[in-house]
Structure 1
Amino acid sequence: MTAATKALSVLALLLLAGCTALVDNRADKREAQAIEEWPPLGQFVEVDGRRVHAVVTGSGPDLVLIHGASGNVRDFTFDFVNRVKDRYRVIVFDRPGLGYTDRAADRYDSAFTNTAESPAEQAAMLNAAAQKLGVTNPIVLGHSYGGSVAMAWGLNHPAAGLVIVAGATMPWPGSLGASYTVLGSGLGGAVVPPFVTAFATEETINETIESIFAPNPAPAGYAQYVGPGLTLRRESLRANARQVNTLRPHVVEMSERYPSLTLPVELIHGDADTTVPLDVHSRPLDKLLPNSTLTVLPGLGHMPHHIAPQATVDAINRVARRAGVR
């Protein structure tokens, strides 16, 4: 290697280091801003030395709410909690690695790992937190990815009944797309998130939220309230991508146990949902479960609890009656 080549190599390394430092510095500032703008709304419960963030309100039979991918407790506290807290004691959790809940175990903390908490691990962590809050036999509602966690809860822990809202609960054909493949990998998940955290634009955030609600409009003020900056933190991006990227083998295994689940289960799904399609998830799940009722909502996309909240409330009330807790 010539002296000139060595000099160019050193210069390139210095430029790369400088670029990385600038990106990390910008990401640090945006994460700090997100925490300031969207602070914790509830309390913290310790489970095996790790914190679980929970919002607890209302009175009546216990109702646990579990959010979907890229979410946090604010998806439910935006509006839905107010619709049920007069009839239920509502416990809303941040899932592991999202919002303000820690990862479930040390092995998931590395930036370079490609593994993540299974639905069963997440359900176990949240159930342990729920027990510390005095919850013993709750109705458990899960939306989207949270539907798989709710199903794991029902399979493995005491519950009065389940409500699955647009739940990702069954094996699906095909892949999840390039973004999950890259962010879910060890190297991609370590390298890419700082750039996303540092440079994601408000336009991109709004377009993403619109696509999640499509074909329905997002409620006014939702994007400002739900805390997209929390989702865009580096560790949250990694947790979310890796949980979604590793979900399919877990629902394959869980689906073999669904016929043994005798709890009352209410399934709510929009027939215009392209994120978690009705015909891939809730319809076949309904055929496997011995004690389920499927409600199909015409023209609704992936967010029934926002677009048709009363249908979701009605499903909760039906489960409560069927389980004998109301």
Structure 2
Amino acid sequence: MLELATAAALTGGAVLGVDRLATRAETQAEAEFPPEGRILTIDGVKVHAWVQGSGPDLVLLHGAGGNLRDFTFALAPRLARDFRVIAFDRPGHGFTGRVPEAAKASRGESPREQARLLQAAARQLGVTRALVLGQSFGGAVAMAWALEDPAMTAGLVIVSGATMPWPGKLKPSYHVNASRAGATTLVPLLTAFPPQSLMDQILSGIFAPAPVPQGFTAHFGLPLSLRRTTMVANARQVTGLKEHVIAMSGQYGTLQMPAELIHGALDTIVLPDIHAEPLSTLLPDARLTLLDDAGHMPHHTHPEAVLDAVARVAERAGLR
């Protein structure tokens, strides 16, 4: 009995030590990469919004595990020359809180839940009709935005968007981090002891075959993505995404607004033949641009193509 009690005490002490180190890492991450924009409150939920520029409203929605700094690194300031750009941290990411119903149920926010929260934040900023650009997972939220309120959606720009059902399974790490056991064991360890090699591998894989842009790592704030709540929220959103895009894809044909789809032909994370190409046939007014030498991050590697797509959809929507 004494041996069991000693083992339990040691285990409990180790867990407490990991939690303290994780809390310290999270505090340091938030101090090093503070909010760049304003914090709005929507029904008690904090929403982080970066707003800059003037002109037609353009909403930016980032991908899985990211935050709005992905856009403010380079693309958003350029867009702000012609638009009022509103970049949001999606629920559970950056400095935006969780949707209470999802958090209480230990599940991820659906694209529609995310869209509803961010639309309420946009309305608080005076948005009535906006262009919406979504990248990767943000592409699914952009599609949900249009389905939730077509009148509020002047046009869509889907960049490497995860918008359609896909065959096969996700990486096991998503399911582990989404589970209650993983959320209380592995996730705190990753937060407390983030291996630099893992962080480098994550960024390199996302940008492949291009290199990570100089200065991006220092700006983006990957430690924000390694906070416990963010990793768990992201994993649960990703593991639940497929069922939601199955349901949403049956309604894409009802969307009449113009859409520009930009996708890298070399994207191995969100495959163009699974997502962009079928989506282009479902949307009544879509234009697809496949970039032969681009991977998953064309808004960094091929910014001119994305800027041109935004300009085209603005013109097609009658905003320019």
Could you state the TM-score of these two structures normalised by the residue count of structure 2? Answer: 0.98
Work out the CA distance in 1 between the residues paired with 2:221 and 2:178.
22
Structure 1 range deviating more: 16-25 or 126-135? 16-25
Aligned twin of 1:105: 100
Aligned twin of 2:275: 281
Alpha-carbon deviation of 1:190?
Answer: 3.0
Q: Deviations over 1:108-157 (max 9, x none)?
A: 157xx2x1110000000000000000011000000000000000001111
Asked if the contact 2:52/2:77 (under 8 Å) is kept, the reply is no
Q: What's the % identity of the aligned pairs? A: 50
Q: Which has the larger radius of gyration?
A: 1
The aligned amino acid for 2:200 is N
Aligned twin of 2:143: 151
Structure 1 range deviating more: 76-85 or 142-151? 76-85
Equivalent pairs counted in the alignment come to 318
Q: Deviations over 1:40-87 (max 9, x none)?
A: 000011111111000000011000000000100100000001211110
Alpha-carbon deviation of 1:191?
Answer: 2.5
Work out the CA distance in 2 between the residues paired with 1:127 and 1:108.
19
Across the aligned residues of Structure 1 and Structure 2, the Cα RMSD in angstroms comes to 1.0
Asked if the contact 1:142/1:148 (under 8 Å) is kept, the reply is yes
The aligned amino acid for 1:77 is T
SS in 2 for 1:246: helix
Aligned twin of 1:142: 134
Work out the CA distance in 1 between the residues paired with 2:100 and 2:319.
34
Q: Deviations over 1:227-266 (max 9, x none)?
A: 1110000000000000001000000000000111111010
SS in 2 for 1:203: helix
Aligned twin of 2:64: 69
Structure 1 range deviating more: 287-296 or 177-186? 177-186
Aligned twin of 2:307: 313
Aligned twin of 1:211: 205
Aligned twin of 1:3: none
Alpha-carbon deviation of 1:187?
Answer: 2.4
Within 5 Å, give how 1:177-326 maps onto structure 2.
Answer: 177-326=171-320
Alpha-carbon deviation of 1:106?
Answer: 4.7
Work out the CA distance in 2 between the residues paired with 1:48 and 1:32.
25
Aligned twin of 1:123: 115
Asked if the contact 1:206/1:223 (under 8 Å) is kept, the reply is no
Could you state the TM-score of these two structures normalised by the residue count of structure 1? Answer: 0.96
Segments of 5+ residues of structure 1 without an aligned counterpart are 1-5
Asked if the contact 1:59/1:87 (under 8 Å) is kept, the reply is yes
Alpha-carbon deviation of 1:203?
Answer: 2.2
Is structure 2 residue 34 aligned with structure 1 residue 31?
no
Asked if the contact 1:42/1:54 (under 8 Å) is kept, the reply is yes
SS in 2 for 1:19: helix
Asked if the contact 2:102/2:109 (under 8 Å) is kept, the reply is no
Work out the CA distance in 1 between the residues paired with 2:315 and 2:116.
26
